[in-house]
């Protein structure tokens, strides 16, 4: 049975993470994910991180079909010891690690680099939130709109609001629904719309 190892913070899960996990699992039978402790993330990323505490991050990861086991490490030495203990057949890291020293790689039979699809990253997400928060502080009225729940008619307003607040998003209104469903709110007219079909956040 081939064992695959992946590690990271996995604080704010996004598409890039799911693609990584699915790819890693396709390489073997057992995928073990190592995650940084809360204290390590705060030390590395700064006060206010992680957004999601350890127990929540473990729960989210273990809810994914691709992941078989989650292990915590508190520092660099702890990470090395975990990889040494597991002795994975394959250690998967992002392609941006090419040419760099990969912690614990000496205890893996093989290292495979995963090429990201698009610009999905936790850092980019948090930077984008900061840009929109800056607009709010400058006096803009901020409305977040999501089609979440449109197909199923499930009301995700409370869950979405909680998620946005946990991420530190500043907003005035939240619209949850689908424009093709007459029973749910539609997108009104705005001075500025930011999404992948109008103005991208990177243009601000």
Could you give all domains of the chain from N- to C-terminal order, each with its CATH number?
Answer: 3-114 (3.40.50.620), 122-203 (3.40.50.1000)
CB contact at 8 A, 31 and 66: yes
Tell me the per-residue pLDDT of 22-60, one tens digit each, with 9 for 90 and over: 999 999 999 999 999 999 989 988 888 888 889 999 999
- In this prediction the pTM is 0.65
In angstroms, the Cα distances linking 152 to 42, 155, 177 are: 38, 9, 10
Q: How far apart are CA 126 and CA 166, in angstroms?
A: 12
Taking the alpha carbons at both ends of the chain, their separation in whole angstroms is: 49
Q: Is the dihedral of CA 85, 87, 93, 99 positive or negative?
A: positive
Q: What is the pLDDT of residue 61?
A: 94
Phi and psi dihedrals of 15, rounded to 5?
Answer: -55, -40
C-alpha closest to that of 10 among 48, 52, 39, 40: 52
Q: How far apart are CA 189 and CA 187, in angstroms?
A: 7
Residue 198 has pLDDT above 60, yes or no: no
Provide the mean pLDDT of the chain. 84
104 dihedral zone (left: phi>0; alpha: psi -120 to 50; beta): left
Q: What is the pLDDT of residue 150?
A: 64
Q: What is the pLDDT of residue 6?
A: 96
Q: Which residues of 72-87 are buried (b: 16+ CB within 10 A; e: fewer)?
A: ebeeeebbbebbeebe
Residue 20 has pLDDT above 80, yes or no: yes
C-alpha closest to that of 73 among 166, 5, 167: 5
Among 75-79, 113-117, 156-160, the least confident range:
113-117
Bridge partners of 99, per DSSP, are: none
- Report, in angstroms and rounded to the nearest whole number, the Rg of the chain calculated over CA atoms: 20
Tell me the per-residue pLDDT of 84-109, one tens digit each, with 9 for 90 and over: 999 999 999 988 788 888 999 999 99
Question: Measured in whole angstroms, how far is the alpha carbon of residue 24 from the centre of its chain?
Answer: 16
């Amino acid at each position: 049975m081939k064992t695959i190892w992946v590690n990271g913070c996995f604080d704010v899960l996004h598409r890039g993470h799911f693609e990584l996990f699915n790819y890693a699992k396709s390489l073997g039978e057992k995928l073990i994910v190592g995650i940084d402790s809360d204290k390590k993330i705060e030390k590395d990323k700064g006060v206010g991180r992680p957004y999601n505490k350890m127990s929540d991050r473990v729960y989210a990861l273990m809810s994914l079909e691709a992941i078989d086991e989650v292990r915590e490490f508190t520092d660099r030495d702890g990470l090395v010891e975990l990889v040494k203990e597991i002795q994975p057949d394959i250690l998967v890291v992002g392609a941006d690690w090419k040419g760099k020293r990969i912690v614990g790689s000496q205890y893996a039979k093989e290292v495979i680099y995963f090429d990201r699809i698009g610009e999905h990253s936790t850092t980019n997400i948090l930077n984008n939130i900061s840009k929109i928060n800056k607009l709010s502080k400058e006096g803009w009225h901020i409305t977040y709109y999501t089609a979440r729940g449109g197909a199923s008619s499930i009301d995700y307003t409370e869950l979405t609001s909680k998620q946005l607040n946990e991420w530190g998003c500043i907003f005035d209104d939240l619209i949850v629904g689908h424009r093709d469903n007459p029973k749910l709110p539609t997108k009104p007219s705005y001075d500025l719309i930011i999404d992948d079909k109008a103005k991208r956040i990177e243009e601000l």
